Amino acid sequence: MTTGKPTFSSLLDDLKAWLEYQLEEGNRTVEMDPELLKNLAHIPRRKADQAAADAGLKSITETIKACTNCALNKTRTNTVPGQGAAHPDIMFIGEAPGADEDQQGLAFVGRAGKLLTKMIEAMGYTRDEVFIGNILKCRPPNNRAPMPEEMETCTPYLKAQIALLKPKVIVALGATSVKGLLNIKTGISKLRGQWHTFEGTNLMPTYHPAYLLRNPSAKKDVWDDLKDVLKHLGRKAPPVRKRTG
Ligand code: SF4
């Protein structure tokens, strides 16, 4: 994997690495728009960076949609690969899809997702400007916790997404997310607010929005963590708009 600011050639290297990974996994076909590949050499580099990332992400998404590598494929309605910007400042990573996400095929669209949206907007971003995903791409039945072997089987998809997206910061939401990425079993209350790194990318652990729905008093801790993320990015939270009426 290349590190640092993405360039046209580094993205092509990553795309090549992803295709080689597919071959190693025994996948002989991937979804790829031939026109897009043909045009890569003729379009401005910034657009080409975006196009290469989009093509790589699309390929990962299609592979996830067809995945039967663990038993969760039998109970899912839709896969939930994650969604958002290519090369975002921030990538939010949660645990696994819930019922709403399973129905819609989108990450964080239920009650916890609405709270995450508020957190993102309080930071001065929109959902489309960040990337939102999960450790697992399919819903565990009855929202049970992901099993270690499911996480081990599914995490390569997330790692491939991170390699392509190259976020400036990863925000790991909840203990399962931290465990899946860093293999750390320490409780989230001890880990939150402290910087870690995942394959060269700065990672901030904080509480999962679902935990905040049950424990609203922890919102202040999360906001402190997110302000630290903004500081790291050289940004400030926009002023809070006063409610009218
Ligand atoms: S959870 Fe991950 S590994 Fe399991 S079937 Fe879904 S995409 Fe495949």
13: tokens are 């290297």
Average pLDDT, the chain: 88
Query: pLDDT of 184-217, one tens digit each?
Result: 989 999 999 999 999 999 999 999 999 999 999 9
Q: In a mutational test of the pocket of ligand 1, which residue from 136, 149, 155, 159 has the highest number of ligand atoms less than 8 Å from its CB?
A: 136
Q: How far is the CA of 148 from the centre of ligand 1 (A)?
A: 12
Smallest CA separation from ligand 1 atom 1, residue: 138
Residue 10 confidence class, pLDDT cut points 50, 70, 90: low
Q: How far is the CA of 69 from the centre of ligand 1 (A)?
A: 6
Q: How far is the CA of 90 from the centre of ligand 1 (A)?
A: 24
- Say how far residue 165 (Cα) sits from the centre of its chain: 9
For residue 2, pLDDT over 60 is answered with no
Ligand 1 interacting residues, C-beta cut-off 6 A: 64, 67-70, 72-73, 79, 136-138, 150, 153-154
Q: How far is the CA of 78 from the centre of ligand 1 (A)?
A: 11
pLDDT for residue 54:
83
CATH, domain range 80-245? 3.40.470.10
| Stretch 38-53: mean pLDDT | 65
Amino acid at 101: E
Residue spans per domain, the chain: 1-66, 80-245
- Say how far residue 61 (Cα) sits from the centre of its chain: 12
Q: How far is the CA of 185 from the centre of ligand 1 (A)?
A: 22
Half-sphere exposure of 173 (CA within 13 A, CB side): 30
CA 235, 169, 92, 84: dihedral to nearest 10 degrees?
A: 80
- Say how far residue 35 (Cα) sits from the centre of its chain: 28
* Residues 6 or more apart whose Cβ sits within 8 Å of residue 144: none
SS3 of 7-24: the string is CHHHHHHHHHHHHHHHHH
Q: In a mutational test of the pocket of ligand 1, which residue from 72, 134, 135 has the highest number of ligand atoms less than 8 Å from its CB?
A: 72
Residue 50 confidence class, pLDDT cut points 50, 70, 90: confident
Contact predicate 150/69, CB 8 Å: no
Query: pLDDT of 114-172, one tens digit each?
Result: 999 999 999 999 999 999 999 999 999 999 999 999 999 999 999 999 999 999 999 99
Which atom belonging to ligand 1 lies closest to the Cα atom of 73?
A: 5
Query: pLDDT of 120-130, one tens digit each?
Result: 999 999 999 99
Query: pLDDT of 103-123, one tens digit each?
Result: 999 999 999 999 999 999 999
Half-sphere exposure of 61 (CA within 13 A, CB side): 17
Q: What percent of the chain has pLDDT over 90?
A: 73
Query: pLDDT of 227-237, one tens digit each?
Result: 999 999 999 99
pLDDT for residue 23:
73
228: tokens are 């630290």
Q: How far is the CA of 135 from the centre of ligand 1 (A)?
A: 10
Smallest CA separation from ligand 1 atom 2, residue: 154
